[in-house]
Structure 1
Amino acid sequence: MADAKTVISLPSGFTFDYTNLYGDGRISPADIAALSARLRAAHQAVAQMRATGEVRGHLSKDGQPEKVLFTQLPYVREGNLNTPASLARLKAFGQSLRHRVDAVISFGIGGSYLGNKVLFDIQCGEFWNSKDREARHGYPRLYFSGNNIDPRRTAELIGHIVDEAKSKARQAGAGDGTYRVTLVVISKSGATLDTMSTFMAAYDALQQAAPAIAVEVVAVTDPAAGPQATLLHRLAREQGWPVFRVPDGVGGRFSVFSEVGLITAACTGFDIDAFLAGARSMDEACHSEDIRHNPAMLNAALKYLAAANYGRDIEVFMPYADHLKAVAEWYIQLLAESLGKRTNRAGQEIYYGRTPVVAVGTTDMHAQTQLHQDGQRDKVVQFVQVGQWPEDAVIPNCFPAAASLADIAGLRLSQALDAAREANAAALIRDNRFNANFVLPRLNAFHLGELLYLLALSVAYEGELADVDAFDQPGVEAYKRLLGPLLKQMKAAE
């Protein structure tokens, strides 16, 4: 990688600009060259994973060999996890809610929440639930719960739904004023404490509000039936609830491309086909064994080398768009659970991992950038830029006598935003502060699919470079083993 080119641009317009990560005083051609043998091995390992689902040394939490199948998800075909029939069923479910259901509450934690929140934010935005049904194109309001065991918020959400039901009843008069709520409960096992406790609290309270409120439930869980069925799967069959799949071989942090995430897409009219097409396009772009033409492998190598050779073991993920803050939060889990590992595959303690930090531009230029610029040189700042905005107001000249305000009049908001990001990036690199930029041509389903898939595939490559299993999470299982007995002790003490 000796040439001076420091930008990868895909045919879609998606761009990875790593100018401020590579070159003089940064990651060098010699660093990349020294890694070449491991890059070849990593590329072969990822190709093997794509072809067979096999990842060297990977075991399930039960200690059994387990395939890793997230790379299959963008490809919709018979025999895959996403099939034409499964997507048609998701879309039909979404259509069944339109002009009929008033609100959906999605219960999930980890990837079952974070991935869904990403899709909701891109499709719906902050003010979706304040819009009338016509402005929502008939789709229901959508709320999230189960992502924390918070008594106050759970009570307030239930109270809000009850108040909405009362308001609808008053407006309906003698007509049908029933408020219809669909609870989507997402848990592979059906025993996830955070999800199931808040789900049961809401389910019970809303059932008691009948007939003013009518409650429907949809379960998203392990598809296995019969004796192997999960608690939630058995409960769904007993209660007659529809069931969607948490697929085997897809960890929660990769599940946004499966029915786990796509169910929120269906509930809001998000373009599922374009989203998976974007992920598929990125996967195809990452088949090259040439690091200069494989954005996921390049991203992994640069971040790995920044930490290993230059001590930059914190990654600040900083999109310049409010609607992308949830992407940064999703990335926190992806990076932390995938790469935060005590041991390598040989069992040697290496305590590997890069600490991820959420930031949003321009907000955190006024909160975190002081640390980024003047604190320890232990960070890589990863920007995300939106190329074109569908709505882009011109700053008006409201106060011509105020020179500092008149100076910015006539600029579009996007120009001011881009200038702020460019100034931030330039100030950082002038002081040898590593940073890079992903550019999404537009903020839509296709380019979101590209970005999320790039990040997911990057951790697969980096796991190979670091020789850690990027697909297990033994640290999470450690606290879960302690939690069950503790809950039993608390109940016995009542």
Structure 2
Amino acid sequence: MSLKLKSGFTFDYDNLFGEGKVTKADIEAFSDKLKEAHKAMNVMRETGYIKGHLSKDGQPEKVWFSQCPYIQEGTLNSPESMKRLQELRESVRNRIDVVVSLGIGGSYLGNKVLFDVQCGEFWNSKSVEERDGYPKFYFSGNNIDPRRTKDLIDNINSSAAITKSHYKRTYKVMLIVISKSGGTLDTMSNFMVIYDALKKNPDIEVEIVAVTDPNTEKPTLLKQMAMDHNWPQFSVPDGVGGRFTVFTDVGLSTAACIGFDIDEFLHGARDMDEACKNENVWENPAMLNAALKYIASEKYGRNIEVMMPYGDYYESLSMWYIQLLAESLGKQFNKEGKEVCYGRTPVVALGTRDMHSQTQQHQEGRLDKVVQFIRIENWDNDLVIPNVFPEAKKLADISGVTMGDALEVARQSNADALASNKRFNALFSLPKMNAYYLGQLLYMLAMSVAYEGEFADVDAFDQPGVEAYKRIMGPKLQELKASKQAK
């Protein structure tokens, strides 16, 4: 059983629905909740209002992520904002040698998905011509790691020395700093260390782009710095939590710097949003996905979701989803203030790699998981496994098929084995991986957690648990600084 959109995007839920799984009767008994949740999504689209949602400051706050796919005046992604992203694209191409994107959480994870899909692992080893004029691209600011930060600085300094020696010019570096407030410890500590080190190198020119809160009346720290230093600016918009910002300037600034097709990405999200406006659960991918997994969790105890894409460059997609699910649905209290401690635990996995590690637990461990597969039906430049050792029968037996076909046989075998032992699993199938289908997939997952927040009566758009450690960490850092100054 599956739901297939006109685009070819498919949600196959055969191993999640039916006898011994989530049943039709379960869905029918859930009909009132489905109607209420769907109505809430329509209200959110039209007004930004979500019942019970407050900002981290405890003030009413609109939710605007569902606006992001639409490029029009008065919305977050306006024709003017698209023009500015195009100007950024033209500015870096054939001019900037390397871009370093500094961000954490939603300011990193979605960007890394876009990079992996567009560029792959060996982007920075390619020539400028092979990169079509786009710069090398690195990430930082997603951890406070002194070794990696120094390695990045050393790498850039080394490239600058080569450029000076071979081409007799300075090396041009752009630092894109992504923080709504400018006070994000992980991001800003890396930024200051990297900026200071590179500015001391006479062979390097450093430019800074700030992606931050656009409010000019009460500017945040990074906003004020950007205004004081005349840095180009892009927006971390109000009403779009970090885990949803891949569809805003936060993610699209990375897209602009690597040649990723922004228009097609938003087109895919837009088409998915249209599909998710369908009030029929069997024709609405996000509502059906959320309902099946909510019921699987609450009625059948399957409260762990293993996100398992098949393909090396899609592990970052799974990591992005981890934040989306964990921050959106892992809540101690419901909207009425009752303690519920709700949430499905997300787990990163990768096929086929983790068939040789986690699958033993998936197959025979506790009956508490749904394994969610992602497959790509048609691979660009698929490779045939050659019969180079015909005398080795076991190797000869796997020759003559493409690597993509072999990957799908492995995934299907995993799914069949799990299903044979009462292990819930499902599949998102993309005709191919490109900007359009990635937009469809990410948007569907984002809308799914919005639906599930309504089912569970929790606020899917706040993150109070994240604020708890921040309140503790600030004073601890002050104490540490004071103790070092006293020595």
What do the CA deviations read for 1:396-438 (whole angstroms, capped 9, x no partner)?
Answer: 1101111111111111111100000000000000000000000
Q: Which residue number in structure 2 is paired with residue 20 of structure 1?
A: 15
Give how far 1:321 is off. Answer: 1.1
Paired AA for residue 261 in structure 1: G
Q: Which residue number in structure 2 is paired with residue 268 of structure 1?
A: 258
Distance 2:23 2:328 in 1: 26
Paired AA for residue 394 in structure 1: V
Give how far 1:170 is off. Answer: 1.4
Q: Which residue number in structure 1 is paired with residue 57 of structure 2?
A: 62
Which of 40, 43, 47 matches 2:38? 43
Which of 304, 307, 310 matches 1:320? 310
The reply to whether residue 95 of structure 1 matches residue 86 of structure 2 is: no
Distance 2:161 2:238 in 1: 42
- Map of 1:313-462 to 2, 5 A cutoff? 313-462=303-452
What do the CA deviations read for 1:263-295 (whole angstroms, capped 9, x no partner)?
Answer: 000000000000000000000001111100000
The reply to whether residue 33 of structure 1 matches residue 25 of structure 2 is: no
Give how far 1:92 is off. Answer: 1.2
Which of 277, 280, 283 matches 1:293? 283
Q: Which residue number in structure 1 is paired with residue 170 of structure 2?
A: 178
What do the CA deviations read for 1:341-391 (whole angstroms, capped 9, x no partner)?
Answer: 001111111110011001110010011101100111110000000010111
Say which SS state the counterpart of residue 225 (structure 1) adopts. Answer: coil
Distance 1:428 1:268 in 2: 39
TM-score norm. by structure 2 comes to 0.99
Distance 2:107 2:392 in 1: 49
Distance 2:93 2:52 in 1: 46
Distance 1:188 1:356 in 2: 26
Q: Which residue number in structure 2 is paired with residue 240 of structure 1?
A: 230
The reply to whether residue 224 of structure 1 matches residue 219 of structure 2 is: no
Runs of at least 5 residues in structure 2 that lack an aligned partner in the other structure: none
Which of 106, 109, 114 matches 1:114? 109
Q: What is the Cα-based RMSD across aligned positions, in Å?
A: 0.6
What do the CA deviations read for 1:186-241 (whole angstroms, capped 9, x no partner)?
Answer: 0000100000000000000000112x000000000000013x11110110111110
Q: Which residue number in structure 1 is paired with residue 267 of structure 2?
A: 277
4+ long deviations beyond 4 Å: none
Paired AA for residue 201 in structure 2: A
Paired AA for residue 266 in structure 1: A
Paired AA for residue 417 in structure 2: A
Say which SS state the counterpart of residue 437 (structure 1) adopts. Answer: strand
Which of 194, 201, 206 matches 1:202? 194
The reply to whether residue 466 of structure 1 matches residue 462 of structure 2 is: no
Q: Which residue number in structure 1 is paired with residue 179 of structure 2?
A: 187
Distance 2:399 2:430 in 1: 26
Distance 1:490 1:188 in 2: 25
TM-score norm. by structure 1 comes to 0.97
Q: Percent identity?
A: 62
Mean CA deviation greater in 482-491 or 455-464: 482-491
Give how far 1:50 is off. Answer: 0.6
Give how far 1:88 is off. Answer: 1.2
Q: Which residue number in structure 2 is paired with residue 7 of structure 1?
A: 2
What do the CA deviations read for 1:149-185 (whole angstroms, capped 9, x no partner)?
Answer: 001111110111001101111112xx3x200000000
Runs of at least 5 residues in structure 1 that lack an aligned partner in the other structure: 1-5
What do the CA deviations read for 1:244-280 (whole angstroms, capped 9, x no partner)?
Answer: 0001100000000000000000000000000000000
